[in-house]
Structure 1
Amino acid sequence: MRTIDKICLIDDDQFYLFSMRRMIEINQLCGTIAECKNGQEAINYISNSLANKESLPDVIFLDINMPIMNGWEFLDAYQKLCGNSKKTGKVYVVSSSIDSIDKAKAKTYKVVTGYVIKPVSVTQLKELLV
């Protein structure tokens, strides 16, 4: 049932990364899953993909609160790096924060497709990826 080629999970929570990977794999929703533990790792991954003329992720699931480079800092860097590119995929901010300020801030980024509250269910995941 694979619907997309590449997903990038950006989160410092190992349990979240494991559970998302397993849901994606079990439901055969994607060919390649990249995992980054913070925004800087993700920017490095995307920069390398661009430099090597590889495809960018079709979907990015991004946490807000992470060490080294948080989600907001990642979004600033990502928009500068490839925000004007037609190759960019969907970016979903995935957070345990229910704060309306975070939801409103996510909407200010043109690259953000949506805001999802953790935990993500299989049904939600399928809806986001179809």
Structure 2
Amino acid sequence: MLKTILCVDDDPITLMLCKKVIKKAEFSEDVMFANNGQEAYELFQTLVSKKNKSEEFQLPQLIFLDLNMPVMNGWEFLDLFNKTISNEFSQTKVIILSSTIDPADYNKAKQYDVVSHFLSKPITVEMLENLKPIYS
């Protein structure tokens, strides 16, 4: 079981579903949320600050990331994360969780070392059961 997961999505129903499914699958002890890439990036900046001050913090081991969001979309978050703070979170992996069916998105995701999977919404217990051996 993972310690902490971050779910980044602008849809509150999707976030609620993620929390319920993650809990039901016993996939993670704690689930953090962000409504867009900007909120997720600011959360990671806060964690870097806490790390630098030797404060206690929860490091998300896995991020479920939507692509299509207002303010900052998933691609913009990945670009900023890679350019600025990915070295601080080398153990954190990203699973893109999107409703897109565009093959270009799948190919683009392969360009990011931090992205480990590209899954279609909605998240299911079966998906998480298949991921358990990889992330446990």
Within the alignment, does 1:95 sit opposite 2:93 as a pair? no
Taking structure 1 as the reference length, what is the TM-score of the superposition? 0.91
Structure 1: gaps of 5 or more residues: none
**How many residue pairs align between the two structures?**
128
Amino acid paired to 2:117: G
Q: Distance in 1 between matches of 2:40 and 2:76?
A: 11
Larger relative contact order (C-alpha < 8 A, sep ≥ 6)?
A: 2
Within the alignment, does 1:123 sit opposite 2:126 as a pair? yes
Q: 1:8 aligns to what?
A: 6
User: Which of 26-35 and 108-117 deviates more?
Assistant: 26-35
Q: Distance in 2 between matches of 1:14 and 1:80?
A: 28
Structure 2: gaps of 5 or more residues: 52-56
Q: Distance in 1 between matches of 2:88 and 2:106?
A: 24
Distance 1:127 1:48, change over 3 A: same
Amino acid paired to 1:10: V
Q: CA deviation at 1:106?
A: 0.6
Q: Distance in 1 between matches of 2:37 and 2:121?
A: 18
Taking structure 2 as the reference length, what is the TM-score of the superposition? 0.87
- Which of 22, 25, 39 is the matching residue for 1:24? 22
The structure where helix makes up a greater share of residues is 2
User: Which of 38-47 and 76-85 deviates more?
Assistant: 76-85
Q: Distance in 1 between matches of 2:132 and 2:42?
A: 24
When the two chains are superposed, the root-mean-square deviation of aligned CA atoms in Å is 1.4
Give 1:5-84 correspondences, 5 Å limit.
Answer: 5-53=3-51, 54-84=57-87
Deviations for 1:21-76, whole angstroms, at most 9, x for unmatched residues? 01112232212111000000000011101111234211100000000000000001
Aligned residues of 1:39 and 1:73 also touching (Cα < 8 A): yes
Question: Percent identity of the aligned residues?
Answer: 38
